[in-house]
Amino acid sequence: MREIPLLINGEKVRSKSENWLDVLNPATQEVVARVPMATEEEVEYAISNAAEAFKSWRLVSVTKRMRIMLKFQQLLQDNTEELARLITLEHGKTLPDAEGEVGRALEAVENACGVARLQMGEMSNNAATGVDVYTMNQPLGVGAGITAFNFPVMLPSFMFPAAIVCGNSFVLKPSEQDPSSSMLMAELALEAGVPAGVLNVVHGGPDVVNRLCSHDDIKAVSFIGSTNVGTHVYNLASQHGKRAQSMMGAKNHMVIMPDANKDRAINDLLGSAFGAAGQRCMANPVTILVGEARNWIPEIAERAKGMVVDTGTNRAADLGPVVSPQAKARILKLLDSGVEQGANLLVDGRDCVVPGYEKGNFVGPTMFSGVTTDMDIYTQEIFGPALCVLEAETLDEAIAIINANENGNGTSIFTSSGYVARKFENEIDVGQIGINVPIPVPVAYFSFTGSRASKLGDLGPNGKQVAQFWTQTKSVTARWFEPDHIEGTKVHTTISL
């Protein structure tokens, strides 16, 4: 059985842990690997080794760091096929979706390649007579990253490439549910020239997470995942004096106006609601149909019924299995609650079976109309292939519904009116907005953000904010005088002010 190693001091290390978990193929329940829950001693070693590596890495030139990152970017691109295969094997998403994830990771790495621009300080010459004031953005020390299962390549790319290229060392804890692609990614970083100890990888559960958040040598913690864990990570890290960011839960809404391009809006709605089996924080599990767009419900349902559910290796599939039996059970429980609480079940994917893969964690596209904001299928993040349809008379009513939701991760609107789009983007209280774009994740040279319960911390991944998060600013006020003696001769100088 393939064993997932730790990665410490530039070497693959077989864990001495007695606690190993099975990594399953979600389409078959086949055990494809075993991952260790690292021991306390192994976590301590990974952190102390990274702290030691930081002492020399911080002094490496920005140019050399960027060149390593450029080589890493090329290696990621060259290994797209293998990375996507591992994502599909352990996560279940379709190969095209997995390849798209690697493409998103490449964008984040490319943004890190421009750190010379992002990390530059500022200077004011003669802020006072003969006095210059300038800033330096210097690395923090050892950073830590904790990632969820749903994007095992993209989420780490939001963290360690920027942290490392800014001069920090890093300890990554990827999800134990699908660790192989994250491990390959880290190995490629070492192949690109990242020195031993600058990037270490450990595996584990709550004990490992808590140690990363509380260890004295860890200076900053980045988390992307569920709200409960993210809140815990942010609070614990902050209590121990760490800089922290947590990108967390979501309940994204797509507003469809009656003047929208109907075919495109429905197509994009279904892709954003059911793609990756709904297991992404930027999915659109809620749509609000405004005015006459409410008449499109039957057509949306018919198209949803025609979506293909199969293993991720079938490139014609629209969605694959969800990640685990536990995830499937939770999704089904929430879908059942929708029926029990009075929503209209228009498309039922609860009994979805893929021939030949009867043990797989498959849930088909499921669609409800008549959803109200007090139902569990609305208030909770289903994180599965489910679409809740709400109806509104006006745009103002739709905006009010979205702004009343506790989450503020992403939202989108489909319309042909510039006025409507501008009103929406100005009045909505959500971090990321799409206009005729279903999943509004910005390109990586803009920062990933969020609002309300979807984000804790002032700074987000990517863009300009990523360099701010992984560096500390020093302000220097400097004044220089001509020396009194040069080779034993006193110098008299008159300065005209």
Cα separation, 475 vs 473, whole angstroms: 7
Cα separation, 190 vs 326, whole angstroms: 35
Let me know if 213 is a catalytic residue.
no
Catalytic residue among 113, 166, 281, 352: 281
Sheet holding 366-369, edge to edge: 344-347, 366-369, 386-392, 286-290, 253-256, 410-414, 432-435
As annotated, the active-site residues are: 281
